């Protein structure tokens, strides 16, 4: 890792049938919000994606810009009747998400696997 | 508050400076020996105030954002200052979920985050003159000693 | 040099600010995506110049040290400025092993370190007026790509 | 580790007969030079210490202030007919030490053990 990567945002994704799993690494602030928004919206153009899991295990920093990004994607997904889950939340992020009322619309799980299992159960 | 140390920072109103600003303030506040949690609180609050100066205060990336940081025995005072648009109705602006830029997917939670993560937040602003956000965080050394491993 | 970004930093002439100064400059220069080695070079040079301002430029901890940092496409320019004593004989001062403060166990290697770790070092100083050290480091992105894992 | 420790200097020491082994962790700049100087000079008051090994494995940053500290302690030790060794040097530190001419007076080893063995050999 070099010095810039420490404050950059990196995105990784995986696909499990109709679930898109995106893991965010690094720092999510206003500067990086546009990047992640474009990345997610590009992927979500594919109408066969119904659910979104955001894995935040390696997200070391997030400010309220992240909340805006999550709410925006929630709107897209909920129009398709899908679910948005977030996983692996640090205590600091937990306070931020609690504060924002996001827990009323997003589902939270310890691990990506738990989130996948829950979505499967719901849509079964 | 007897001042122990002080710094002033000025940078251009560009979003890539958000990370720089919070790292610089955190590095300065580190002199007070805060916990990692306290450092995360400070970084988040600075990030909110600096972002606001860049996207709400100014409409171009060539203006100056200023940060003044003062350290006393057990607290850090941070001022984030812009000479931009200013805020018409400060009370409204501080309401949770209020944003004047929903088109940018702003959540309207910036001031609420600052208020939650810092001990004091004061907003001084006038339309056409700019905005100063003054925040104070107490660093509680007693609690720290037992919490830290 | 077309400037891409710029910041200015001011802090009190106290030794505990040496670490803050080098971390802040490194965080700003990080926008150029330097290697860890390049970041270490920059931190070391900044540490030398800031230490000099604090111990040679001033004789008390309540004066102001200023740092200006400018980034262009592939280089960073750093100025470390004090309004202190100034340097009588700049050529002598830059000689390896020359120090006016052997009693503080200074090695006289500060300027030599700056010259080795940075690509350009210019010293502007006048007795009674203060000192400005301007340093430039080129960040070579071509070399980096292959060196980095 | 908290935020301040990252830029602090920590010292650890060990004693093997007439050898004092000190490991430096963190950052050695002018601000910390006084601290390490006092620490070493306090220990070196004990006249039964003849040699000094400085282990720099965990020293993440050093500027020319460190050179002054090393030279000062070298003077004390060499008056006693002892050796000063440094071990576990990073490439960045290596350039700094090379530059300063310190390699002409200090002995350099990969590990503390090698330094101890060499001192034993010398004084045997
Ligand atoms: N520095 C500033 N200059 C001008 N207006 C500001 C500034 N900071 C905040 N505001 C106003 O206050 C509102 C609320 O700010 P905030 O709670 O941070 O939410 P958000 O940034 O998500 O809009 C902003 O939408 C803006 O109208
Ligand atoms: N900012 C400054 N103000 C006044 N004198 C300075 C300044 N920087 C350097 N000098 C002079 O130049 C000399 C050499 O500096 P340097 O090479 O950094 O070695 P050192 O700091 O170990 O003395 C110093 O001893 C001092 O006399």
DSSP C22-90: HHHHHHHHGGG---HHHHHHHHHHHHHHHHHIIIII-SSTTSEEEEEEEE-SSEEEEEEEE-SS--S-H
pLDDT of res. B148? 40
pLDDT of res. C147? 44
pLDDT of res. B47? 98
Torsion of CA A96, A2, D62, B145, to 10 degrees: 20
Model confidence at A8: pLDDT above 70 = yes
pLDDT confidence band for D1 (50 / 70 / 90): very low
pLDDT confidence band for A5 (50 / 70 / 90): low
pLDDT of res. B136? 98
Active site residue C105: no
Domains in chain C, please, with CATH?
5-148 (3.30.565.10)
User: pLDDT tens-digit profile of B48-98?
Assistant: 999 999 999 999 999 999 999 999 989 999 999 999 999 999 999 999 999
Shortest distance, CA A120 to any CA of chain B (angstroms): 30
Percent over 70 (pLDDT), chain A: 94
Model confidence at C88: pLDDT above 60 = yes
Torsion of CA A106, A111, A116, A117, to 10 degrees: -110
Which helix (H) or strand (E) is C144 found in, with range?
helix C141-147
Structure tokens at A33: 């919000």
pLDDT of res. D10? 87
- Residue A30, CA distances (Å) to A9, C63, D101 in order: 11, 36, 48
Count how many Cα atoms sit within 13 Å of the Cα of residue D71 in the half-sphere of its side chain.
19
pLDDT of res. D112? 97
Q: How far is CA B59 from the centre of its chain?
A: 19
CB contact under 8 A, D6 and B35: no
Model confidence at A21: pLDDT above 70 = yes
Contact B100, B108 (CB under 8 A): no
pLDDT of res. D124? 65
With beta carbons under 8 A apart, name residues in chain B contacting D8: none
Which helix (H) or strand (E) is B71 found in, with range?
strand B64-71
Helix, strand, or coil (residue C114)? helix
Q: Which residue has the higher pLDDT, D9 or A29?
A: A29
Span B3-26, mean pLDDT?
Answer: 96
Q: Which chains touch B (3 or more CB pairs under 8 A)?
A: A, C, D
Count how many Cα atoms sit within 13 Å of the Cα of residue B17 in the half-sphere of its side chain.
29
Helix, strand, or coil (residue B111)? helix
pLDDT confidence band for D40 (50 / 70 / 90): very high
pLDDT confidence band for B1 (50 / 70 / 90): low
pLDDT of res. C148? 40
Cα of C96 vs centre of ligand 2, distance in Å, is 11
Count how many Cα atoms sit within 13 Å of the Cα of residue C8 in the half-sphere of its side chain.
8
Residue appearing with tokens 């080893």:
D109
Q: With touching defined as 3+ CB pairs under 8 A, do chains B and C touch?
A: yes
Percent over 70 (pLDDT), chain B: 93
Residue of C80, C76, C54 whose CA lies nearest to C1:
C76
Helix, strand, or coil (residue B42)? helix
Of C8, C19, C27, the CB nearest to B20: C27
Cβ neighbourhood burial of B96 (10 Å; 0-12, 13-18, 19+) = middle
Span A6-13, mean pLDDT?
Answer: 80
Residue from C18, C22, C38, C52 carrying the catalytic annotation: C52
Cα of D68 vs centre of ligand 2, distance in Å, is 14
Q: Which chains touch D (3 or more CB pairs under 8 A)?
A: B, C
pLDDT of res. B142? 61
Model confidence at C2: pLDDT above 80 = no
pLDDT of res. A4? 55
pLDDT of res. A27? 94
pLDDT confidence band for A76 (50 / 70 / 90): very high
User: pLDDT tens-digit profile of D62-101?
Assistant: 999 999 999 999 999 999 999 999 999 999 899 999 999 9
DSSP D36-104: HHHHHHHHHTSTT--EEEEEEEEEEEE-HHHHHHHHHHHHHHHHTT--EEEES--HHHHHHHHHHTGGG
Domains in chain A, please, with CATH?
2-119 (3.30.750.24)
Structure tokens at D40: 């070493």
Model confidence at B108: pLDDT above 80 = yes
B 91-110: CB under 8 A from C: none
Active site residue C88: no
pLDDT confidence band for B23 (50 / 70 / 90): very high
Residue from C63, C106, C115, C134 carrying the catalytic annotation: C106
């Amino acid at each position: 890792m070099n010095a810039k990567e420490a404050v950059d945002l990196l995105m990784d994704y995986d696909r499990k049938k109709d679930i898109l799993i995106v893991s965010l690494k690094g720092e999510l602030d206003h500067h990086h919000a546009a990047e992640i928004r474009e990345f997610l919206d590009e992927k979500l153009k594919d109408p066969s994606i119904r659910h979104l899991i955001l894995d935040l295990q390696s997200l070391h920093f997030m400010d309220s810009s992240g909340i805006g990004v999550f709410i925006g994607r929630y709107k897209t997904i909920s129009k398709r009747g899908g679910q948005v889950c977030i996983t692996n939340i640090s205590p600091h992020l937990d306070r931020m998400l609690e504060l924002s009322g996001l827990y009323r619309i997003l589902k939270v799980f310890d691990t990506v696997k738990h989130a996948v299992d829950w979505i499967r159960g719901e849509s079964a | 508050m007897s001042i122990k140390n002080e710094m002033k920072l000025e940078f251009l109103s560009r979003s890539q400076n958000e990370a720089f600003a919070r790292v610089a303030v955190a590095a300065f506040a580190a002199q007070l020996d805060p916990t990692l949690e306290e450092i995360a609180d400070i970084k988040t609050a600075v990030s909110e105030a600096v972002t606001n100066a860049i996207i709400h205060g100014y409409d171009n990336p060539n203006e100056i954002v200023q940060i003044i940081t003062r350290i006393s025995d057990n607290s850090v005072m941070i001022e984030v200052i812009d000479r931009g648009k200013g805020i018409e109705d400060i009370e409204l602006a501080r309401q949770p979920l209020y944003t004047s830029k929903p088109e940018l997917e702003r959540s309207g939670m910036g001031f609420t985050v600052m208020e939650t993560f810092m001990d004091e937040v004061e907003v001084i602003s006038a339309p056409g003159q700019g905005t100063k956000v003054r925040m104070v965080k107490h660093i509680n050394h007693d609690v720290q000693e037992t919490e830290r491993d």
